Each structure stands twice: as structure tokens, then as C-alpha cells.
Amino acid sequence: MSRTGLLTVDNEGIKGGTLTQNTTFRYNWVHDTGGQGLRFDTGEEGLFNRSNHLMFNVVFRNPNGGLSGKSDASAIYRNTG
């Protein structure tokens, strides 16, 4: 997912939803959400997110959190929160 949330004003920003693997959020601006800015949800039925990355994002003024990886073998690199 690249350049999808530029100047996003939304209730939840961008979230992974159900079990997500091998996904990258990069080059997004997310601000003033009612929930979290960028996040991957936790695993389901004993399976967990794997290899999800947060790279080069700007996330600010999100009252319930900015960046949430919740993933095994992930990278969180060069973000501003």
C-alpha cells in the first residue's frame, strides 16, 4: 500500500483489518483520526501477522495511537509520529 493515505482525515486512518501478511504501509500522511493512525490488527485463531512493515509515514494528532505494527518479523523504519 503506497501513497494511499495522503492527507487522510478519517475515523480510523488505515488499518490492516483481518490477518495480514507481507504488507507495507509507506509514504502516507494520516492525521486527526478518531482511532489509531496506521495499524495492523492482531492475529486470528492462533495465526499471527507476519512481515508487515511501516516505512516513511507521517502520523500525528491521533488520540488512540500513531503506529501499531503487531506483527512478527516486521520493520518500522523512518516514520514520524
Cα–chain center distance at 1: 10
| Domain that includes residue 69, residue range | 1-81
Q: Which band of pLDDT confidence, cut at 50, 70 and 90, is reported for residue 17?
A: low
pTM exceeding the 0.85 threshold for the entire prediction: no
Q: Which band of pLDDT confidence, cut at 50, 70 and 90, is reported for residue 56?
A: very high
Domain count, the chain: 1
Taking the CA of residue 37 as centre, how many other CA atoms within 13 Å lie in the half-sphere pointing to its CB? 25
What percent of the chain has a predicted confidence (pLDDT) above 70? 72
